[in-house]
Copies of this chain bind each other. A is one copy, B any other.
Amino acid sequence: MDDHIYRVIELAGTSTTTMEDAIKNAISRASKTLRNLRWFQVVETRGRIENERIARWEVILKVGFALEDTL
């Protein structure tokens, strides 16, 4: 097995609907510019309240991806 190196970045995904959508939105956005995404880890779950309701879910997550030639 090769000695792969991964980079871990931190993202904050948001969603007006659900906690899981906030995570998916962040991963979807990261996929536009980064290849080889491999795993994620939820760091914190929070949200904004407006008019006595959850207006926005905010999930901070770490995302790891395998490095090829650019860091």
Contact = CB atoms under 8 A, between A and B. Distances in A.
Specify how many copies of this chain sit in the oligomer. Answer: 12
A7 B4 contact: no
A26 B70 CA distance: 13
Contacts of A3: 13-16, 21-22, 25
Contacts of A1: 16, 55-56
Contacts of A63: 49
A20 B23 contact: no
Given A3-B25, A32-B71, 16 more contacts: A5-B26, A7-B9, A8-B11, A8-B12, A9-B71, A10-B62, A12-B64, A18-B20, A23-B54, A24-B54, A27-B52, A32-B69, A39-B48, A41-B44, A42-B44, A42-B46
